[in-house]
Structure 1
Amino acid sequence: MTEGYLLELDFIKQLKKVVTWFKQQGGQPKLTVQPERNMVGGRPPIRYITKVPYSTCIIKKRSVNSYDLDGDERVGQEYLVMVDGDNPIPVFLTHYEFNGNQKQMIEFVGDNINGEIKLILGGNETDFISLVAKDVTSENITAALEKLPSIGESNMRVSIFPGRWLIEFVGDLAGTTLDLFEVDLHEDAEFQVHVSETMWADSREEAEVHYPIKLIGEYDGDDNAINDAVAAGSIGTAEWFPGIGYVSNLNECREYNGDGTPNL
Protein backbone atom coordinates (compact mmCIF):
# COMPACT_ATOMS: atom_id res chain seq x y z
CA MET A 1 0.00 0.00 0.00
CA THR A 2 1.14 3.49 -0.73
CA GLU A 3 1.64 6.10 1.94
CA GLY A 4 -1.17 8.23 0.49
CA TYR A 5 -3.61 5.29 0.68
CA LEU A 6 -2.74 4.68 4.35
CA LEU A 7 -3.33 8.36 5.18
CA GLU A 8 -6.72 8.20 3.47
CA LEU A 9 -7.72 5.15 5.54
CA ASP A 10 -6.63 6.91 8.73
CA PHE A 11 -8.72 9.97 7.81
CA ILE A 12 -11.79 7.77 7.22
CA LYS A 13 -11.35 6.12 10.63
CA GLN A 14 -11.10 9.51 12.34
CA LEU A 15 -14.16 10.75 10.48
CA LYS A 16 -16.17 7.70 11.60
CA LYS A 17 -15.21 8.43 15.21
CA VAL A 18 -16.47 12.01 14.86
CA VAL A 19 -19.79 10.81 13.38
CA THR A 20 -20.20 8.26 16.18
CA TRP A 21 -19.56 10.93 18.83
CA PHE A 22 -22.01 13.32 17.16
CA LYS A 23 -24.76 10.66 17.22
CA GLN A 24 -24.09 9.99 20.90
CA GLN A 25 -24.77 13.67 21.58
CA GLY A 26 -28.26 13.30 20.16
CA GLY A 27 -27.34 14.82 16.84
CA GLN A 28 -26.85 18.28 18.34
CA PRO A 29 -23.45 19.74 19.16
CA LYS A 30 -23.03 21.10 22.64
CA LEU A 31 -21.88 24.69 22.50
CA THR A 32 -20.27 26.47 25.38
CA VAL A 33 -22.14 29.73 25.98
CA GLN A 34 -19.93 32.57 27.12
CA PRO A 35 -21.31 34.40 30.16
CA GLU A 36 -22.69 37.87 29.47
CA ARG A 37 -20.16 40.61 30.10
CA ASN A 38 -20.70 42.58 33.25
CA MET A 39 -21.76 46.07 32.12
CA VAL A 40 -22.30 47.54 35.58
CA GLY A 41 -21.76 51.29 35.38
CA GLY A 42 -21.71 51.37 31.58
CA ARG A 43 -23.41 54.37 29.98
CA PRO A 44 -23.71 55.61 26.40
CA PRO A 45 -21.47 58.45 25.16
CA ILE A 46 -22.77 62.01 25.35
CA ARG A 47 -22.56 65.23 23.36
CA TYR A 48 -22.38 68.35 25.48
CA ILE A 49 -22.07 72.14 25.60
CA THR A 50 -19.91 73.53 28.39
CA LYS A 51 -21.57 75.77 30.98
CA VAL A 52 -18.35 77.42 32.15
CA PRO A 53 -14.79 77.93 30.87
CA TYR A 54 -12.05 75.53 31.91
CA SER A 55 -8.29 75.42 32.31
CA THR A 56 -6.33 72.81 34.20
CA CYS A 57 -3.75 75.48 34.90
CA ILE A 58 -2.26 78.66 33.47
CA ILE A 59 1.25 79.77 32.67
CA LYS A 60 2.70 82.80 34.42
CA LYS A 61 6.09 84.45 34.12
CA ARG A 62 8.38 85.56 36.90
CA SER A 63 8.39 89.31 37.36
CA VAL A 64 11.31 91.64 38.05
CA ASN A 65 13.17 91.29 41.34
CA SER A 66 12.57 87.53 41.33
CA TYR A 67 15.51 85.33 42.30
CA ASP A 68 16.06 81.66 43.07
CA LEU A 69 17.81 80.33 46.18
CA ASP A 70 21.20 80.66 44.50
CA GLY A 71 20.57 84.33 43.83
CA ASP A 72 20.06 83.86 40.08
CA GLU A 73 17.55 86.22 38.51
CA ARG A 74 14.39 84.49 37.23
CA VAL A 75 12.72 87.28 35.24
CA GLY A 76 10.68 85.83 32.38
CA GLN A 77 10.85 82.22 33.59
CA GLU A 78 7.52 80.41 33.23
CA TYR A 79 5.70 78.50 35.97
CA LEU A 80 2.31 76.80 36.29
CA VAL A 81 -0.55 77.87 38.54
CA MET A 82 -3.50 75.54 39.07
CA VAL A 83 -6.93 76.88 38.07
CA ASP A 84 -9.52 74.07 37.84
CA GLY A 85 -7.08 71.19 38.20
CA ASP A 86 -8.59 67.78 37.50
CA ASN A 87 -12.03 68.77 38.75
CA PRO A 88 -14.96 68.10 36.38
CA ILE A 89 -17.01 70.94 34.91
CA PRO A 90 -20.79 71.16 34.43
CA VAL A 91 -22.18 70.73 30.92
CA PHE A 92 -25.52 70.83 29.11
CA LEU A 93 -26.50 67.66 27.22
CA THR A 94 -27.78 67.55 23.64
CA HIS A 95 -29.11 64.69 21.52
CA TYR A 96 -29.48 63.99 17.80
CA GLU A 97 -32.94 64.14 16.22
CA PHE A 98 -32.96 62.83 12.65
CA ASN A 99 -36.64 63.54 11.95
CA GLY A 100 -37.18 66.23 14.57
CA ASN A 101 -38.43 69.77 14.24
CA GLN A 102 -36.31 72.38 12.52
CA LYS A 103 -33.71 73.92 14.81
CA GLN A 104 -31.46 76.91 14.23
CA MET A 105 -28.31 77.74 16.20
CA ILE A 106 -27.32 81.39 16.59
CA GLU A 107 -23.64 81.62 17.57
CA PHE A 108 -21.64 84.62 18.75
CA VAL A 109 -17.94 84.88 17.89
CA GLY A 110 -15.50 87.34 19.47
CA ASP A 111 -14.23 88.85 22.69
CA ASN A 112 -16.63 91.70 23.43
CA ILE A 113 -20.20 90.49 22.99
CA ASN A 114 -22.25 93.52 23.93
CA GLY A 115 -24.75 96.04 22.67
CA GLU A 116 -27.80 94.76 20.82
CA ILE A 117 -28.88 93.00 17.63
CA LYS A 118 -32.00 92.42 15.56
CA LEU A 119 -33.07 89.12 14.03
CA ILE A 120 -34.75 89.09 10.62
CA LEU A 121 -37.09 86.42 9.23
CA GLY A 122 -39.32 86.61 6.17
CA GLY A 123 -38.52 90.27 5.61
CA ASN A 124 -39.58 91.24 9.13
CA GLU A 125 -37.24 92.14 11.95
CA THR A 126 -37.46 92.05 15.72
CA ASP A 127 -37.01 94.99 18.03
CA PHE A 128 -33.47 95.40 19.32
CA ILE A 129 -32.46 92.44 21.50
CA SER A 130 -30.11 93.36 24.34
CA LEU A 131 -26.93 91.32 24.69
CA VAL A 132 -26.33 92.37 28.29
CA ALA A 133 -25.87 89.11 30.20
CA LYS A 134 -28.83 89.62 32.55
CA ASP A 135 -31.12 90.29 29.57
CA VAL A 136 -30.14 87.21 27.56
CA THR A 137 -32.81 84.80 28.79
CA SER A 138 -35.03 82.35 26.94
CA GLU A 139 -38.04 84.41 28.05
CA ASN A 140 -36.71 87.66 26.56
CA ILE A 141 -35.58 86.06 23.30
CA THR A 142 -38.90 84.25 22.96
CA ALA A 143 -40.87 87.45 23.56
CA ALA A 144 -38.89 89.26 20.85
CA LEU A 145 -39.26 86.49 18.26
CA GLU A 146 -42.96 85.85 18.89
CA LYS A 147 -43.71 89.32 17.52
CA LEU A 148 -42.57 88.23 14.06
CA PRO A 149 -45.60 87.44 11.81
CA SER A 150 -44.04 84.21 10.55
CA ILE A 151 -43.62 82.83 14.09
CA GLY A 152 -46.36 83.94 16.47
CA GLU A 153 -46.93 82.79 20.03
CA SER A 154 -46.05 79.36 21.45
CA ASN A 155 -44.44 78.18 18.22
CA MET A 156 -40.83 77.89 19.29
CA ARG A 157 -38.60 76.78 22.13
CA VAL A 158 -35.47 78.78 22.99
CA SER A 159 -32.44 77.36 24.83
CA ILE A 160 -29.68 79.71 25.97
CA PHE A 161 -26.09 78.49 26.22
CA PRO A 162 -22.99 80.67 26.70
CA GLY A 163 -22.66 82.52 23.39
CA ARG A 164 -25.22 80.29 21.69
CA TRP A 165 -28.99 80.45 21.24
CA LEU A 166 -30.80 77.31 20.07
CA ILE A 167 -34.23 77.93 18.55
CA GLU A 168 -36.55 74.99 17.85
CA PHE A 169 -39.81 75.52 15.97
CA VAL A 170 -42.76 73.75 17.63
CA GLY A 171 -46.54 74.14 17.87
CA ASP A 172 -48.02 75.31 14.57
CA LEU A 173 -44.50 75.37 13.10
CA ALA A 174 -43.61 71.79 14.05
CA GLY A 175 -42.38 69.89 11.01
CA THR A 176 -42.06 73.03 8.88
CA THR A 177 -38.89 74.51 7.40
CA LEU A 178 -38.24 78.24 7.67
CA ASP A 179 -35.48 80.34 6.18
CA LEU A 180 -32.45 80.95 8.35
CA PHE A 181 -32.53 84.04 10.51
CA GLU A 182 -30.54 87.01 9.31
CA VAL A 183 -28.76 89.21 11.83
CA ASP A 184 -28.71 93.01 11.93
CA LEU A 185 -25.54 94.23 13.70
CA HIS A 186 -24.43 97.74 14.54
CA GLU A 187 -21.68 98.79 12.15
CA ASP A 188 -19.22 99.22 15.04
CA ALA A 189 -19.90 95.77 16.56
CA GLU A 190 -16.71 93.98 17.63
CA PHE A 191 -18.16 90.51 17.21
CA GLN A 192 -19.79 88.31 14.58
CA VAL A 193 -22.98 86.24 14.63
CA HIS A 194 -23.36 82.99 12.68
CA VAL A 195 -26.67 81.21 12.04
CA SER A 196 -26.93 77.57 10.98
CA GLU A 197 -29.41 74.72 10.97
CA THR A 198 -28.76 71.79 13.32
CA MET A 199 -30.25 68.40 14.14
CA TRP A 200 -28.93 68.48 17.70
CA ALA A 201 -31.63 69.22 20.27
CA ASP A 202 -31.46 70.41 23.86
CA SER A 203 -31.86 67.36 26.13
CA ARG A 204 -32.67 69.68 29.05
CA GLU A 205 -30.35 67.62 31.23
CA GLU A 206 -26.95 68.33 32.73
CA ALA A 207 -23.87 66.29 33.61
CA GLU A 208 -20.23 66.73 34.64
CA VAL A 209 -17.25 66.09 32.38
CA HIS A 210 -13.58 65.44 33.16
CA TYR A 211 -10.71 66.35 30.84
CA PRO A 212 -8.11 63.55 30.57
CA ILE A 213 -5.12 65.73 29.67
CA LYS A 214 -3.69 68.97 30.98
CA LEU A 215 -5.29 71.94 29.22
CA ILE A 216 -3.25 75.07 29.78
CA GLY A 217 -4.85 78.50 29.71
CA GLU A 218 -3.01 81.77 29.33
CA TYR A 219 -2.61 84.52 31.88
CA ASP A 220 -3.12 88.07 30.63
CA GLY A 221 -0.88 90.17 32.85
CA ASP A 222 -2.17 93.43 31.40
CA ASP A 223 -5.79 92.75 32.35
CA ASN A 224 -5.04 90.38 35.24
CA ALA A 225 -7.36 87.86 33.60
CA ILE A 226 -7.29 84.20 32.58
CA ASN A 227 -7.78 83.27 28.93
CA ASP A 228 -9.15 79.77 29.41
CA ALA A 229 -8.18 76.75 27.32
CA VAL A 230 -11.85 75.73 26.96
CA ALA A 231 -14.40 78.45 26.29
CA ALA A 232 -17.83 78.42 27.87
CA GLY A 233 -20.42 77.25 25.37
CA SER A 234 -18.02 74.99 23.47
CA ILE A 235 -19.26 71.67 22.07
CA GLY A 236 -17.70 68.31 22.83
CA THR A 237 -18.29 64.60 23.31
CA ALA A 238 -17.46 62.31 26.22
CA GLU A 239 -17.45 58.63 27.14
CA TRP A 240 -18.19 56.97 30.46
CA PHE A 241 -15.32 55.57 32.52
CA PRO A 242 -16.39 53.46 35.55
CA GLY A 243 -15.08 54.93 38.76
CA ILE A 244 -14.43 58.31 37.14
CA GLY A 245 -17.49 59.47 35.20
CA TYR A 246 -17.74 61.10 31.81
CA VAL A 247 -14.35 61.88 30.25
CA SER A 248 -14.08 64.19 27.24
CA ASN A 249 -12.60 62.69 24.08
CA LEU A 250 -13.28 65.70 21.85
CA ASN A 251 -13.77 69.41 22.52
CA GLU A 252 -14.29 72.34 20.20
CA CYS A 253 -11.68 75.08 20.03
CA ARG A 254 -13.99 78.05 20.04
CA GLU A 255 -13.32 81.73 19.37
CA TYR A 256 -15.59 83.03 22.08
CA ASN A 257 -14.99 84.64 25.43
CA GLY A 258 -17.65 87.29 25.66
CA ASP A 259 -15.94 88.99 28.59
CA GLY A 260 -13.39 91.18 26.87
CA THR A 261 -10.44 88.83 27.33
CA PRO A 262 -8.54 87.79 24.19
CA ASN A 263 -9.25 84.59 22.30
CA LEU A 264 -6.82 81.71 22.59
Structure 2
Amino acid sequence: MTERFSNYQVTADFKNTLESMVAWYKRNFEKLPDQKHLKTEGVRPPIRYVTLQPYSNYIIKKYATGSYDLDGDERNGQEFTVKVDGDLPIPVAVTHYEPYGNHKQLVTFVGDNIAGDIKLALNGDETDPISLLAQNATSENIVTALEKLPVIGSGNVAVTVYPGRWLIEFMGDLSGMSFDNFEVDIPSAAIFEVHVCETLWGDSRRVEKIHYPIPLIGEWDGDDNTVNDAVAAGSIGTGHWFPGVGYVSDLNECRDYNGDGTPNL
Protein backbone atom coordinates (compact mmCIF):
# COMPACT_ATOMS: atom_id res chain seq x y z
CA MET A 1 0.00 0.00 0.00
CA THR A 2 1.31 3.44 -0.91
CA GLU A 3 0.04 6.98 -0.35
CA ARG A 4 1.04 10.59 -0.81
CA PHE A 5 3.03 12.07 2.05
CA SER A 6 4.64 15.53 1.78
CA ASN A 7 4.66 15.33 -2.04
CA TYR A 8 6.36 11.93 -2.07
CA GLN A 9 4.79 8.56 -2.75
CA VAL A 10 5.80 6.24 0.08
CA THR A 11 4.69 3.03 1.72
CA ALA A 12 2.45 3.19 4.76
CA ASP A 13 5.22 1.67 6.90
CA PHE A 14 7.67 4.39 5.86
CA LYS A 15 5.05 7.08 6.50
CA ASN A 16 4.44 5.69 9.98
CA THR A 17 8.19 5.63 10.66
CA LEU A 18 8.56 9.29 9.67
CA GLU A 19 5.60 10.31 11.81
CA SER A 20 7.05 8.39 14.76
CA MET A 21 10.40 10.19 14.33
CA VAL A 22 8.68 13.59 14.27
CA ALA A 23 6.69 12.74 17.38
CA TRP A 24 9.85 11.54 19.14
CA TYR A 25 11.68 14.78 18.30
CA LYS A 26 8.82 16.94 19.56
CA ARG A 27 8.42 14.94 22.75
CA ASN A 28 12.12 15.01 23.64
CA PHE A 29 12.73 18.65 22.67
CA GLU A 30 9.91 19.78 24.94
CA LYS A 31 11.20 17.64 27.79
CA LEU A 32 14.85 18.71 27.57
CA PRO A 33 15.30 22.03 25.74
CA ASP A 34 19.09 21.89 26.01
CA GLN A 35 19.02 18.77 23.78
CA LYS A 36 22.09 17.28 25.48
CA HIS A 37 20.50 13.84 25.56
CA LEU A 38 20.08 13.93 21.78
CA LYS A 39 23.81 14.46 21.27
CA THR A 40 24.64 11.42 23.36
CA GLU A 41 22.37 9.37 21.09
CA GLY A 42 24.03 10.72 17.93
CA VAL A 43 20.96 12.71 16.88
CA ARG A 44 20.81 16.46 16.32
CA PRO A 45 18.26 18.71 14.62
CA PRO A 46 19.10 20.37 11.28
CA ILE A 47 20.66 23.83 11.35
CA ARG A 48 20.48 27.06 9.37
CA TYR A 49 23.81 28.87 9.32
CA VAL A 50 25.92 31.77 8.09
CA THR A 51 29.43 30.82 6.91
CA LEU A 52 32.30 32.51 8.74
CA GLN A 53 34.99 31.93 6.11
CA PRO A 54 35.18 31.12 2.37
CA TYR A 55 35.52 27.58 1.10
CA SER A 56 36.69 25.67 -1.97
CA ASN A 57 37.85 22.08 -2.12
CA TYR A 58 38.50 21.60 -5.83
CA ILE A 59 41.70 22.48 -7.69
CA ILE A 60 42.60 22.93 -11.35
CA LYS A 61 46.28 23.42 -12.14
CA LYS A 62 46.39 24.18 -15.86
CA TYR A 63 44.09 24.67 -18.81
CA ALA A 64 44.59 21.89 -21.33
CA THR A 65 45.24 22.92 -24.93
CA GLY A 66 41.99 23.48 -26.79
CA SER A 67 39.76 22.69 -23.82
CA TYR A 68 38.87 26.10 -22.39
CA ASP A 69 37.68 29.23 -24.14
CA LEU A 70 35.73 31.34 -21.64
CA ASP A 71 33.86 34.33 -23.09
CA GLY A 72 36.09 34.22 -26.16
CA ASP A 73 39.30 34.61 -24.14
CA GLU A 74 42.01 32.18 -25.17
CA ARG A 75 43.57 30.54 -22.09
CA ASN A 76 45.16 27.38 -23.46
CA GLY A 77 47.87 26.15 -21.13
CA GLN A 78 47.51 28.99 -18.64
CA GLU A 79 47.96 28.04 -15.01
CA PHE A 80 45.81 29.23 -12.14
CA THR A 81 45.13 28.19 -8.58
CA VAL A 82 42.10 27.75 -6.38
CA LYS A 83 42.02 28.19 -2.62
CA VAL A 84 41.90 24.61 -1.35
CA ASP A 85 40.69 23.61 2.10
CA GLY A 86 40.52 19.90 1.40
CA ASP A 87 37.78 17.98 3.15
CA LEU A 88 38.00 19.91 6.40
CA PRO A 89 34.74 21.43 7.67
CA ILE A 90 34.50 25.21 8.06
CA PRO A 91 33.04 27.19 10.99
CA VAL A 92 29.51 28.52 10.68
CA ALA A 93 27.30 30.65 12.93
CA VAL A 94 24.02 28.90 13.69
CA THR A 95 20.83 30.98 13.50
CA HIS A 96 17.41 30.12 14.88
CA TYR A 97 13.89 30.75 13.59
CA GLU A 98 12.16 33.32 15.77
CA PRO A 99 8.85 34.42 14.16
CA TYR A 100 7.45 35.87 17.39
CA GLY A 101 10.64 37.41 18.72
CA ASN A 102 12.07 40.90 18.46
CA HIS A 103 12.06 42.83 15.20
CA LYS A 104 15.29 42.13 13.28
CA GLN A 105 16.85 43.44 10.09
CA LEU A 106 19.66 42.01 7.99
CA VAL A 107 22.06 44.44 6.30
CA THR A 108 23.91 42.81 3.39
CA PHE A 109 26.92 44.26 1.55
CA VAL A 110 27.50 43.29 -2.08
CA GLY A 111 30.42 44.40 -4.24
CA ASP A 112 34.08 44.18 -5.18
CA ASN A 113 35.49 46.88 -2.92
CA ILE A 114 33.46 47.43 0.23
CA ALA A 115 35.18 50.36 1.91
CA GLY A 116 34.61 53.84 3.27
CA ASP A 117 31.89 55.05 5.64
CA ILE A 118 28.12 54.57 5.53
CA LYS A 119 25.23 56.01 7.52
CA LEU A 120 22.05 54.23 8.60
CA ALA A 121 18.84 56.25 8.84
CA LEU A 122 15.60 55.44 10.65
CA ASN A 123 12.50 57.64 10.92
CA GLY A 124 14.37 60.49 9.27
CA ASP A 125 17.31 60.48 11.69
CA GLU A 126 20.77 59.43 10.53
CA THR A 127 23.70 57.88 12.39
CA ASP A 128 27.20 59.27 12.47
CA PRO A 129 29.46 57.74 9.76
CA ILE A 130 30.17 54.04 10.37
CA SER A 131 33.52 52.82 9.06
CA LEU A 132 33.46 49.60 7.03
CA LEU A 133 37.05 48.70 7.88
CA ALA A 134 36.99 45.28 9.52
CA GLN A 135 38.73 46.54 12.66
CA ASN A 136 36.18 49.35 13.01
CA ALA A 137 32.92 47.69 11.89
CA THR A 138 32.51 45.83 15.18
CA SER A 139 29.27 45.06 16.98
CA GLU A 140 30.19 47.55 19.69
CA ASN A 141 30.87 50.43 17.29
CA ILE A 142 27.71 49.83 15.27
CA VAL A 143 25.58 49.61 18.44
CA THR A 144 27.10 52.88 19.69
CA ALA A 145 26.16 54.61 16.43
CA LEU A 146 22.61 53.22 16.44
CA GLU A 147 21.94 54.04 20.09
CA LYS A 148 22.42 57.74 19.31
CA LEU A 149 19.31 57.70 17.12
CA PRO A 150 16.35 59.23 19.03
CA VAL A 151 14.04 56.34 18.14
CA ILE A 152 16.45 53.74 19.56
CA GLY A 153 18.35 54.95 22.63
CA SER A 154 20.74 53.15 24.95
CA GLY A 155 20.34 49.41 25.55
CA ASN A 156 17.65 48.91 22.92
CA VAL A 157 19.57 47.35 20.04
CA ALA A 158 21.98 44.45 19.48
CA VAL A 159 24.18 43.81 16.45
CA THR A 160 25.84 40.61 15.24
CA VAL A 161 28.55 41.09 12.60
CA TYR A 162 28.95 38.30 10.04
CA PRO A 163 31.30 38.52 7.02
CA GLY A 164 29.50 40.88 4.64
CA ARG A 165 26.37 41.02 6.82
CA TRP A 166 25.06 42.76 9.93
CA LEU A 167 22.13 41.39 11.93
CA ILE A 168 20.39 44.20 13.85
CA GLU A 169 17.89 43.30 16.59
CA PHE A 170 15.60 45.76 18.39
CA MET A 171 15.31 44.85 22.08
CA GLY A 172 14.86 46.32 25.56
CA ASP A 173 12.24 49.08 25.49
CA LEU A 174 11.71 48.35 21.77
CA SER A 175 10.86 44.65 22.20
CA GLY A 176 7.73 43.69 20.30
CA MET A 177 7.73 46.86 18.19
CA SER A 178 8.02 46.97 14.39
CA PHE A 179 10.07 49.42 12.34
CA ASP A 180 10.59 50.46 8.75
CA ASN A 181 13.77 49.14 7.18
CA PHE A 182 16.91 51.20 7.66
CA GLU A 183 17.82 53.49 4.80
CA VAL A 184 21.50 53.45 3.87
CA ASP A 185 23.63 56.39 2.77
CA ILE A 186 26.75 55.16 0.96
CA PRO A 187 29.61 57.17 -0.61
CA SER A 188 28.75 58.58 -4.04
CA ALA A 189 31.80 56.88 -5.57
CA ALA A 190 31.05 53.48 -4.01
CA ILE A 191 31.03 50.48 -6.35
CA PHE A 192 29.19 48.29 -3.86
CA GLU A 193 25.54 48.01 -2.82
CA VAL A 194 23.86 47.63 0.55
CA HIS A 195 20.55 45.78 0.92
CA VAL A 196 18.32 45.79 4.01
CA CYS A 197 15.51 43.35 4.74
CA GLU A 198 13.49 42.22 7.74
CA THR A 199 14.39 38.72 8.95
CA LEU A 200 12.79 36.15 11.24
CA TRP A 201 16.15 34.52 12.00
CA GLY A 202 18.13 35.42 15.10
CA ASP A 203 21.68 34.81 16.31
CA SER A 204 21.86 31.61 18.38
CA ARG A 205 25.33 32.55 19.73
CA ARG A 206 26.47 29.08 18.68
CA VAL A 207 29.25 28.06 16.27
CA GLU A 208 29.39 24.65 14.57
CA LYS A 209 31.39 23.22 11.67
CA ILE A 210 29.88 22.15 8.36
CA HIS A 211 31.09 19.65 5.74
CA TYR A 212 30.50 20.11 2.03
CA PRO A 213 29.86 16.69 0.47
CA ILE A 214 30.86 17.44 -3.15
CA PRO A 215 33.81 19.24 -4.77
CA LEU A 216 33.12 22.96 -5.00
CA ILE A 217 34.75 25.38 -7.39
CA GLY A 218 33.96 29.06 -7.77
CA GLU A 219 33.71 31.33 -10.79
CA TRP A 220 36.49 32.66 -13.00
CA ASP A 221 37.15 36.28 -12.00
CA GLY A 222 38.93 37.41 -15.15
CA ASP A 223 42.38 38.13 -13.73
CA ASP A 224 44.05 35.03 -15.23
CA ASN A 225 45.30 33.95 -11.82
CA THR A 226 42.56 32.70 -9.55
CA VAL A 227 39.09 31.28 -9.38
CA ASN A 228 36.79 32.67 -6.69
CA ASP A 229 35.86 30.51 -3.72
CA ALA A 230 32.64 28.63 -4.38
CA VAL A 231 31.26 29.38 -0.91
CA ALA A 232 31.66 32.98 0.22
CA ALA A 233 32.08 33.99 3.82
CA GLY A 234 28.73 35.36 4.93
CA SER A 235 26.64 33.04 2.75
CA ILE A 236 23.53 31.40 4.20
CA GLY A 237 22.88 27.65 4.11
CA THR A 238 21.31 24.67 5.85
CA GLY A 239 22.79 21.41 7.07
CA HIS A 240 21.80 18.06 8.56
CA TRP A 241 23.59 15.95 11.13
CA PHE A 242 25.07 12.59 10.16
CA PRO A 243 26.33 10.45 13.08
CA GLY A 244 30.04 9.77 12.74
CA VAL A 245 30.45 12.61 10.22
CA GLY A 246 28.96 15.80 11.65
CA TYR A 247 26.88 18.50 9.99
CA VAL A 248 26.74 18.26 6.18
CA SER A 249 25.53 21.14 4.01
CA ASP A 250 22.56 20.34 1.79
CA LEU A 251 21.82 23.89 0.63
CA ASN A 252 24.01 26.99 0.35
CA GLU A 253 23.35 30.46 -1.00
CA CYS A 254 25.03 31.12 -4.35
CA ARG A 255 27.53 33.90 -3.66
CA ASP A 256 30.76 34.35 -5.57
CA TYR A 257 33.89 35.38 -3.76
CA ASN A 258 36.32 37.77 -5.37
CA GLY A 259 39.39 36.79 -3.37
CA ASP A 260 40.00 40.06 -1.52
CA GLY A 261 37.92 39.38 1.57
CA THR A 262 34.64 40.86 0.36
CA PRO A 263 31.56 39.05 -0.99
CA ASN A 264 30.61 39.60 -4.62
CA LEU A 265 27.08 38.64 -5.66
Percent identical: 65
Of 142-151 and 79-88, more deviation after overlay is shown by: 79-88
**AA in 2 matched with 1:185:** I
Q: How does 1:83-232 map to 2 (within 5 A)?
A: 83-217=84-218, 222=223, 224-232=225-233
Query: Counterpart of 1:155 in structure 2: which amino acid?
Result: N
Cα 1:112–1:258 change in 2 (3 A) is farther
Aligned to 1:51: 52
What TM-score comes out, normalization by structure 1 length?
0.75
Deviation at 1:98, TM superposition (A): 1.6
Deviations 1:111-167 (A, max 9, x none): 111111010101010111100111110000001111100000000110000000000
The verdict on how the C-alpha distance between 1:57 and 1:128 changes in structure 2, with shifts beyond 3 A counting, is same
- Equivalent residue of 1:61, what SS? coil
Give the distance between the partners of 2:135 and 2:181, measured in 1 at CA: 26
1:207 is aligned with what amino acid? E
**Partner-residue secondary structure (3-state), 1:183:** strand
Change in Cα spacing, 1:148 to 1:257, as seen in structure 2 (3 Å) is farther
Distance in 1, matches of 2:254 and 2:222, equals: 23
Contact 1:53 1:230 in 2 (8 A): yes
CA-based RMSD: 3.0
Give, in whole Å, the separation in 2 of the partners of 1:140 and 1:205.
22
Equivalent position amino acid for 1:171 in 2: G
Q: Take 1:92 and 1:166, find their aligned partners in 2: how far apart are those partners?
A: 12
**Relative to structure 1, is the Cα distance of residues 122 and 81 closer, same or farther in structure 2, using a 3 angstrom cutoff?**
closer
Q: Which residue number corresponds to residue 250 of structure 1?
A: 251
- Partners in 2 of 1:191 and 1:251 — Cα distance? 22
Deviation at 1:78, TM superposition (A): 7.2
Q: Do the aligned residues in 2 keep the contact of 1:59 with 1:216 (CA within 8 Å)?
A: no
SS at match of 1:134: coil
- Which amino acid counterpart does residue 60 of structure 1 have in structure 2? K
Shift of 1:185: 1.0
Deviation string, structure 1 residues 190-220 (Cα, Å, up to 9, x no partner): 1000000000000000000000111013576
Gaps of 5+ in 2: 1-16, 25-37, 66-74
2: CA distance, partners of 1:109 / 1:262: 6
1:61, distance to aligned residue in structure 2 (A): 2.2
* In structure 2, C-alpha distance between the alignment counterparts of 1:193 and 1:76, rounded to whole Å: 39
Farther-moved stretch of structure 1 (158-167 vs 218-227): 218-227
Secondary structure at 1:239 match in 2: strand
Instruction: Tell whether the 8 Å contact from 1:225 to 1:261 is kept in structure 2 after alignment.
Output: no
Using a 3 Å threshold, how does the CA distance of structure 1 residues 186 and 247 change in structure 2: closer, same or farther? same
Distance 1:77 1:257, change over 3 A: closer
Q: Which runs of 5+ in 1 are unaligned?
A: 1-33, 65-73
Conservation of the 8 A alpha-carbon contact between 2:99 and 2:200: yes
- Distance across 2 between alignment mates of 1:158 and 1:262: 20
SS of the residue aligned with 2:60?
A: strand
Runs of 4+ in 1 over 4 A off after TM superposition: 36-39, 77-82, 218-221, 223-226, 255-258, 260-264
